[in-house]
Amino acid sequence: MASRVLHRPTFSLVTALLAALALVLGGAPASADPVIPGVDEAVSSPDLKHLANLPKQGAFASPTAYNSDLAFKGDLAFAGNYNGFTVYDIDKAAAPTIVSQVLCPGSQNDISVTGNLLFLSTDSSRSDDSCQSVAKPVTDPTAWEGIKIFDISDPANPRYVKSVETKCGSHTHTLVPSKSRKTVYLYVSSYLTSAASVGADCTYPHDKISVIKVPVKDPTAAALVAEPVLFSDGGNPGDGLAYPETTYATTGCHDLTVYPDKDLMAGACMGDGALFDISDREYPRLITAVRDDVNFSFWHSATFNNKADKVVFTDELGGGGTATCNETIGSSKGADAIYDIVGKGDRRKLVFRSYFKIPRANADTENCVAHNGNLIPVKGRDIMVQAWYQGGISVWDFTNSRKPKELAYFERGPLSATSLVLGGSWSAYYYNGHIFSNDIQKGFDVLDVTDPLTKHADRYEYRQLNPQTQYDLF
């Protein structure tokens, strides 16, 4: 069934004030109940238009073959899936086409590209490093997890060329260019959430990352070169409470976002949000860290603003698989947290300014929480597009870090009215004039944002985009 696209106002303080005014005047209060779209119904603000959707296909069509992260190069988009990855031709953004699909199971298949190389994260215990591997118990010392490297010089026929095993696998990874540009580094993030996830080469404590060095012209020489410990004090010990109050102990990092031009990295590390110096690419050094044991459960990802004087951290409350965009959870949990970076050098600190959460309630059958996004290149403003799983896609402005506001949104109704089915936008990124989203169940989406504050964004042209590797846009 085709989705119907509707427009509706965002519930906000204005709605509440109208309700209060109605009571004062003696009339019936304006309804403050959110209007939740029905199953297979799409809603949006007038300034975010849905242009195209390509459903999941072939070996990726199964409900358990989750779509994951995105990377871009030229007129191509590379979309991760728990069963492998898809290459899309986005030269005509409103009519994307599939160039190729590579079947290579191994969750979550987080993805990045540089030149003719593509990197893929494997974070599930496999029988070997091939694309024909099968699941294997994590306690088996012969099991494999880590990074796979592909040659994409022919996008229609990607070629697998190398693997590098890493301890505790690779949940995500971040591409970091060397200062010589002759090599690139991969910062491999992996973490432990319970003793049950400990394997033969994955043991407590795990306050480290894996650093892989890749010679660009000889990727077969890629190798693990360092395993720096990021938190010498062990990081946040956690509180051991039950969801949704729990604060996770820091036993690794989920996402690392680098700003190579400024030798900076922001780390979302379970129980800690952190700022690192990466002037020595092989050994990141902690500058400062913050905790929020009241409202943050699991520090998930980080995005700098263009000046690198702010960081947006996300909290993946409930692991992305539960309903947290509702009145029960409220507006501060499962949200973004905006921090200003104040001071200079090793005296820099992260100073909390505010939270941002989408101002629409979701059904209790919708997994919804802050997830992956990037900056929209608007000079003089800090504007971001962001995925919220079944909460949809939000475009919001944090130029005033104390008063963030949403500019535009698009979302679909729940996948089911009776049970929670994991779905929604995993990643939503702005790239060369359009927003591209990898929806866990619905497939590849293309959108056009027309809010007046973003009207000059298409003047900036990317050659490639790995959202966790940020550069000065202006």
Is residue 412 in some structural domain?
yes
Q: How many CB atoms lie within 10 A of CB 49?
A: 17
pLDDT exceeds cutoff 90 at 35: no
Least confident of 9-13, 97-101, 217-221, 449-453: 9-13
Angle at 405 between CA 12 and CA 378, to 5 degrees: 150
Is residue 241 in some structural domain?
yes
The mean per-residue pLDDT over the stretch 35-55 comes to 95
In angstroms, the Cα distances linking 234 to 208, 255, 267, 300 are 10, 18, 15, 18
The mean per-residue pLDDT over the stretch 134-149 comes to 94
User: Measured between alpha carbons, how far is 138 from 125 in angstroms, rounded to an integer?
Assistant: 5
Please give the DSSP secondary-structure letter assigned to residue 12: -
Q: Whole-model pTM?
A: 0.92
pLDDT exceeds cutoff 80 at 127: yes
The mean per-residue pLDDT over the stretch 18-29 comes to 34
- Give the position of tokens 């995925």: 387
pLDDT exceeds cutoff 60 at 276: yes
411: amino acid identity, one letter: E
**Residues near 390 by beta carbon (within 8 Å), at least 6 away in sequence:** 362, 366, 367, 368, 411, 412, 414, 415, 423, 424
The mean per-residue pLDDT over the stretch 106-115 comes to 96
> 398-422 pLDDT, tens per residue?
999 999 999 999 999 999 999 999 9
Nearest C-alpha neighbor of 229 from the set 259, 267, 260: 267
Domain extent, residue 231, equals: 4-465
pLDDT exceeds cutoff 80 at 10: no
Is residue 473 in some structural domain?
no
Is residue 472 in some structural domain?
no
- Do residues 173 and 187 lie in contact, with contact meaning Cβ atoms separated by under 8 Å? yes
pLDDT score of 241 = 85
> 428-466 pLDDT, tens per residue?
999 999 999 999 999 999 999 999 999 999 999 999 999
Is residue 134 in some structural domain?
yes
pLDDT score of 8 = 36
User: Measured between alpha carbons, how far is 437 from 447 in angstroms, rounded to an integer?
Assistant: 8
- Do residues 179 and 170 lie in contact, with contact meaning Cβ atoms separated by under 8 Å? no
Q: How many domains does the chain have?
A: 1
pLDDT score of 30 = 31
pLDDT score of 15 = 31
- First-to-last alpha carbon distance for the chain, in angstroms, is 43
- Do residues 315 and 331 lie in contact, with contact meaning Cβ atoms separated by under 8 Å? no
- Both tokens of residue 103? 């079947």
pLDDT score of 18 = 31
> 239-253 pLDDT, tens per residue?
888 877 899 999 999
* Sign of the C-alpha dihedral computed for residues 142, 147, 149 and 152 taken in this order: positive
Backbone φ and ψ of 112, nearest 5°: -150, 160
CATH number at residue 241: 2.130.10.10
What is the percent of the chain where pLDDT is above 70? 92
- Do residues 48 and 448 lie in contact, with contact meaning Cβ atoms separated by under 8 Å? yes
User: Measured between alpha carbons, how far is 321 from 311 in angstroms, rounded to an integer?
Assistant: 25
Is residue 470 in some structural domain?
no
Three-state DSSP state, 16: helix
> 330-360 pLDDT, tens per residue?
999 999 999 999 999 999 999 999 999 999 9
Is residue 281 in some structural domain?
yes
Q: For all residues of the chain together, what is the average pLDDT? A: 91
Q: Which one has a higher pLDDT value, 442 or 3? A: 442
pLDDT score of 196 = 62
Least confident of 191-195, 344-348, 469-473: 191-195
pLDDT score of 199 = 78
Is residue 18 in some structural domain?
yes
